[in-house]
């Protein structure tokens, strides 16, 4: 954490982390087109294109915390970018459904690493009201990224389903900006807390906290069910194209 004041370019590079995080939504509008192009493949297997990165995220988000104890946050970012780009772009050129799923697993490694980093950069570089403002910009940037990614990939998938994965080329300018302009921060070991020093037990979560957690889980289940099924439903019922699916998901 530092009191140094950063300009617009550095702040934009920090928000690039949330742009990378939301790149997971690029493939979703193309699911219907992929299902139509692969009629012998089960729709449930097609949906794994969207769900596998999230399963990987659960594992590698925890691993990210361990990596940042040994390496700087920016070096972990480099690793995440490599996995994101390779796993994201390869299905644009070749591969059957199994190859695509393997690529989504590779992408999921990067997704799991970059997800906690999106907030970590803000916490490490900003303090006080500026940090609060950046957290607000983070949410707004994520919403904008979702709209851009899903709308663009939907229109490209309407031409040819593989073209949707070309959106992962957008990772390149974002990565260049972050690599060149994102400040390097030192590796920080987790300090021993007062409770650890005195041997006191950690306070337990209150019932209201568990209720909020449970409601959030239900909300995420409902939202993700909508996202993974919408493109396929639109394609099967012939009420629209992948472009329409992208517009529906981005609104």
Q: Return d(Cα 183, Cα 34) in angstroms, integer.
A: 40
Residue 14 in any domain: the answer is yes
Residue 49 sits at the vertex; the CA angle it makes with 47 and 51, to the nearest 5 degrees, is 70
Contact (Cβ atoms closer than 8 angstroms) between residue 186 and residue 45: no
Number of domains in the chain: 1
Residue 192 in any domain: the answer is no
Q: Which domain holds residue 128?
A: 8-184+206-250
Identify which of 96, 86, 105, 84 has the alpha carbon closest to the alpha carbon of residue 23: 84
Residue 191 in any domain: the answer is no
pLDDT digits (tens, 9 = 90+) for 68-99: 888 888 899 999 999 999 999 999 999 999 99
Q: Given the structure tokens 């070309």, which residue do they identify?
A: 166
What confidence score (pLDDT) does residue 82 get? 95
Residue 193 in any domain: the answer is no
Residue 2 in any domain: the answer is no
Indicate the SS3 state at residue 2.
coil
Residue 119 sits at the vertex; the CA angle it makes with 90 and 85, to the nearest 5 degrees, is 10
pLDDT digits (tens, 9 = 90+) for 160-205: 999 999 999 999 999 999 999 988 877 766 655 555 555 566 677 7
Q: What is the CA radius of gyration of the chain?
A: 20
DSSP string, 160-203: -GGGGGGGGGGHHHHHHHHHHHSPP----PPPPPHHHHHTPPPP
The CATH number of residue 163's host domain is 1.20.1250.20
What confidence score (pLDDT) does residue 127 get? 86
Residue 151 in any domain: the answer is yes
Residue 113 in any domain: the answer is yes
Task: Round the average pLDDT of the chain to a whole number and report it.
Answer: 86
Q: Given the structure tokens 């568990």, which residue do they identify?
A: 210
Residue 230 in any domain: the answer is yes
**Mean pLDDT of the region 221-226:** 77
């Amino acid at each position: 954490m530092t009191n140094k004041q950063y300009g617009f370019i550095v702040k934009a590079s920090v928000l690039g982390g949330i742009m990378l995080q939301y790149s997971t939504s690029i493939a979703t509008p193309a699911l219907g087109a992929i299902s139509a192009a692969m009629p012998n493949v089960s729709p449930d297997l097609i949906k794994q294109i969207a769900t596998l990165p999230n399963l990987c995220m659960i594992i590698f988000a925890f691993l990210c915390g361990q990596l940042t104890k040994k390496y700087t946050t920016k070096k972990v970012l480099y690793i995440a970018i490599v996995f994101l780009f390779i796993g994201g772009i390869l299905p644009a050129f070749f591969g059957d459904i199994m190859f695509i799923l393997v690529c989504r697993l590779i992408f999921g490694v990067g997704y799991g690493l970059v997800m906690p980093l999106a907030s970590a950069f803000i916490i490490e570089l900003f303090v006080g009201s500026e940090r609060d403002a950046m957290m607000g910009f983070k949410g707004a940037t994520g919403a904008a990224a979702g709209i851009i990614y899903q709308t663009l990939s939907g229109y490209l998938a309407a031409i040819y389903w593989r073209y949707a994965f070309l959106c992962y080329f957008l990772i390149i300018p974002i990565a260049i900006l972050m690599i060149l302009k994102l400040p390097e921060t030192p590796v920080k070991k987790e300090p021993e807390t007062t409770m650890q020093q005195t041997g006191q037990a950690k306070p337990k979560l209150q019932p209201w906290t568990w209720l909020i957690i449970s409601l959030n889980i239900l909300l995420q289940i409902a939202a993700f069910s909508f996202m993974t099924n919408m493109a396929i439903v639109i394609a099967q019922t012939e009420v629209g194209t992948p472009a329409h699916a992208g517009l529906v998901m981005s609104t």
